[in-house]
Structure 1
Amino acid sequence: MRNQVNAWLDERVDEMAALLVRLIAVDSENPPGRALGQCARILRDAMENLGLGPEIIDIAAHQELEEPSIVRGGVGSGDRLLYFHGHFDVVPAQDRRQFTAVRRDGRIVGRGSADMKGGVVSMLYGAAAADALGLLGDGRIVLQLVCDEETGSVAGAGHLRAAGMIDPRAVAMLTAEPSGGSVWNAARGALSLHVNVRGREAHVGQADRGVNAFRHLVHIARPVFDYAEEMAGRHTDFPMDPDDATGSMLVVGGRSGGGSNFNVVPGSAFFTVDGRYNPEEDLDGELKRLTGIIEQAAAEVGADAAIEVTQRQPAAGTAATHPAASALGRVIAEVEGRPARFEMCAGILETRWYDQLGIPAFGYGPGRLDVSHGPSEYVDEAAMRRCAAVYALYANEMLS
């Protein structure tokens, strides 16, 4: 069966490359989220040609997203359901030339090649191969491609969840994130805060009449740094890449500012807190604890501080011993010729939207995290085909 899948994919090497080159040429940078409708239409046409029955679902306006939409399709008609999930927005480029793909030495170089337009192409061809070769048994694959993963996925995957378009009875979900050959069976949760401190402006000549918001900010931020250091020392039990820190990670002051001029007591100041929390942590409990630390510090100096929670996304995790994980491991070992590696992703993944409904969910794609978002982002064409083979064979394993 593996040989049949490989032969089917090998006949379509240039097709897969050509589609990826077309997708890279669309500068679907997010933020701000431009050219999303154009990218969606290219995907719809490609899926139509592959017999994947696509539709474009328009979604509500969100921030600056241009023509926000979801591309949805699938193959098969049985009761057992497997989700392939991906995104077609990309992070901003360092150079506009990154939107002109270069195909050389078995690689395709360009913005989004690794994260994750190359993976999307692998999913489309994996699903088509499973259908063409009769691997779906009594089951079906549903493909769901969203437009806003790089800015939190609230509009895209959030719409899928709110509209009841994620069936909790599904046997599993795969997303083609750039895992570099590993399986990401877990991912951190996220908490983001915006802390605004209000004071009272006064000219430097009358500084005694002002209330210095910046001074209050410094006092408030100090214990937040202590909290971040404590969380970094609380390690996960999930295996991780050896180069990744195993504690929960927080950035304090990623954005900060305030004041109106150098000679005016600042009447306002702000800073942000952005955290990635290990699955073992109680996200709601940590949110309560973190806001409590800020509120207590503000009370100590009589500061007027307001806290806005700008992101709250739960962690996700499926045990490597889960039957759906074991099946994926077997398929990867067959295709790659080596045992599958299960690791926790250091960031957050859209697996969380499915995990919350009890669906075993995994990140596995052809790209590499260490080149994603960088100036020389690329994907190996051979890795794209291997992942497509894994997707097709995993469908057979889970649906037959």
Structure 2
Amino acid sequence: MTNRAARVETWLDERAEEMACLLGRLVAVDSENPPGRGLGRCARILHEAMDRLGLSPETIGVPDPSGRLEDPCVVRGTVGEGGPVLYFHGHFDVVPAQSRDQFTPVRRDGRIVGRGTADMKGGVVAMLYGAAAAGELGLIGTGRIVVHLVCDEETGSVLGAGHLRDAGLVEPSALAMITAEPSGGVVWNAARGALSLRVEVRGREAHVGQADRGVNAFRHMLHVARRVERHAEEMAGRHTAFPMNAEDARGNMLVVGGLSGSGSSFNVVPGSAFFTVDGRYNPEEDLDAELRRLTRVVEDAAREIGAEVSVRTTQSQPSAGTRRDHPAAVALARVVADLHGAPARFEMCPGILETRWYAQLGIPAFGYGPGLLEVSHGPGEYVDEAAVRRCAAVHALYAGAMLP
């Protein structure tokens, strides 16, 4: 390990207790999204912590046309002045908990257990302390670290990250972006895209005693959904060339019927029905072409039986990928290898990442975080405290490598 790395690790170890306490405070705030509660309270804690760490924070309110989110905002901080930019990006909303007990953080055996510890409040703490360490230890030269923390990643991040992009707050000339999502110490240099649909089927209601006069939308829905399932099986057989965790399927992943419903009563022929299709597509796929194919599958199946259907796109998010031999990736690999004592592993994230917002602007973007994907969103979600500090060290040293 280099002397610089040792200095960073010592600086972080001396602050291990305050890092754990900050994570505990963040976990204790119920920032479930949906519905989007507690966002302002969580942002205030982050603003306060960033101010204490010398990150010059500002809280930027973002418009929410739906009026659903509670105090939607982005918390932005900066270390350094002028020069090139390196972005640290994360989110402070969490998925709904399985139990309210998950908002009471539990610290035991070197771990902190609670909702959002892995995805990704633990990663947020790592990024804040990584940025602070880089600044205080003089690792960066004339460049800047800009920290972006958004409020709506779990529901697509159109308001948070989308606002940053649309308002010109992301500089296309930036050297790189890194997010501390739960990669488990692996470098995610690619992520899937997302395409979500809602298929509506219309029929005609009739009393059960005169069922022959109705048009059963549920029966039509089953026929259409079966055709979509066949399409999903075909897409699962189309594999990515990006390296992945050996336990993760390499094909495109589609879930048919994650949500579904029909009818108005048990004794009435259902006059309407619906089902959803949610897909995660490898970077090799063209999302626009896949939307056309999937829509055609639905419409062709409906035509076979004379069903009346409509298809609505509820989400379309592009994939993202940065080559392993890109200079920004090579620099990150060196930092990770130096700290871990072993070569960095590059993999594709099986889900979607906010790297896409930066990749669309031509910025090389990566995921590297302390949590584990397999425990994220689950009832026993946790993060190792030592892993949070290691992640913070990687972020600090990456800033030093990119902004010498």
1:204 paired residue among 204, 208, 213? 208
Match of 1:226 in 2: 230
1:61 paired residue among 56, 60, 64? 64
1:40 paired residue among 38, 43, 57? 43
* Structure 1 residue 30 corresponds to structure 2 residue 33: yes
Shift of 1:162: 1.3
Match of 2:279 in 1: 275
Match of 1:122 in 2: 126
State how far apart, in whole Å, the 2-side matches of 1:174 and 1:10 are.
Answer: 22
State how far apart, in whole Å, the 2-side matches of 1:84 and 1:201 are.
Answer: 54
Match of 1:21 in 2: 24
Shift of 1:78: 2.7
User: Which runs of 5 or more residues in structure 2 are unaligned?
Assistant: none
Matched to 2:5, the amino acid is R
Matched to 1:202, the amino acid is A
State how far apart, in whole Å, the 1-side matches of 2:77 and 2:114 are.
Answer: 26
Shift of 1:186: 0.5
State how far apart, in whole Å, the 1-side matches of 2:394 and 2:289 are.
Answer: 39
Match of 2:93 in 1: 89
State how far apart, in whole Å, the 1-side matches of 2:151 and 2:10 are.
Answer: 32
Matched to 1:21, the amino acid is G
State how far apart, in whole Å, the 2-side matches of 1:70 and 1:120 are.
Answer: 13
- CA deviations on 1:302-332 (whole Å, 9 max, x unpaired) are 2211111000000010111111111000000
User: Is 1:78–1:137's contact at 8 Å kept on the other side of the alignment?
Assistant: no
State how far apart, in whole Å, the 2-side matches of 1:222 and 1:23 are.
Answer: 44
CA RMSD after TM alignment: 1.0
* Structure 1 residue 284 corresponds to structure 2 residue 288: yes
Shift of 1:199: 0.9
Match of 2:52 in 1: 49
* Structure 1 residue 11 corresponds to structure 2 residue 46: no
State how far apart, in whole Å, the 1-side matches of 2:88 and 2:185 are.
Answer: 17
Write the mapping of 1:71-82 to structure 2, written as runs, cut at 5 A.
Answer: 71-82=75-86
Matched to 1:337, the amino acid is G
State how far apart, in whole Å, the 2-side matches of 1:265 and 1:20 are.
Answer: 52
- CA deviations on 1:61-105 (whole Å, 9 max, x unpaired) are 254211111100111113110000000011111121111112222
User: Is 1:203–1:265's contact at 8 Å kept on the other side of the alignment?
Assistant: yes
State how far apart, in whole Å, the 1-side matches of 2:158 and 2:56 are.
Answer: 25
- SS of 1:202's equivalent in the other structure is coil
Matched to 1:341, the amino acid is R
State how far apart, in whole Å, the 2-side matches of 1:384 and 1:149 are.
Answer: 20
Write the mapping of 1:125-140 to structure 2, written as runs, cut at 5 A.
Answer: 125-140=129-144
State how far apart, in whole Å, the 2-side matches of 1:372 and 1:254 are.
Answer: 19
Matched to 2:72, the amino acid is P
State how far apart, in whole Å, the 2-side matches of 1:207 and 1:172 are.
Answer: 62
- CA deviations on 1:140-187 (whole Å, 9 max, x unpaired) are 000000011111111111111111111110000000100001011100
State how far apart, in whole Å, the 1-side matches of 2:126 and 2:7 are.
Answer: 16
* Structure 1 residue 147 corresponds to structure 2 residue 155: no
The TM-score, its normalising length taken from structure 1, stands at: 0.98
State how far apart, in whole Å, the 2-side matches of 1:7 and 1:184 are.
Answer: 27
State how far apart, in whole Å, the 2-side matches of 1:368 and 1:234 are.
Answer: 26
User: Is 1:188–1:316's contact at 8 Å kept on the other side of the alignment?
Assistant: yes
State how far apart, in whole Å, the 1-side matches of 2:371 and 2:350 are.
Answer: 16
How many residues in Structure 1 have an aligned counterpart in Structure 2? 400
Moved more, 251-260 or 35-44: 251-260
Match of 1:180 in 2: 184
State how far apart, in whole Å, the 2-side matches of 1:7 and 1:189 are.
Answer: 39
State how far apart, in whole Å, the 1-side matches of 2:200 and 2:111 are.
Answer: 46
Moved more, 12-21 or 209-218: 209-218
Moved more, 90-99 or 165-174: 90-99
User: Is 1:62–1:68's contact at 8 Å kept on the other side of the alignment?
Assistant: no
Deviation above 6 Å: which 4+ runs of structure 1?
none
Matched to 1:32, the amino acid is P
State the identity as a percent. 73
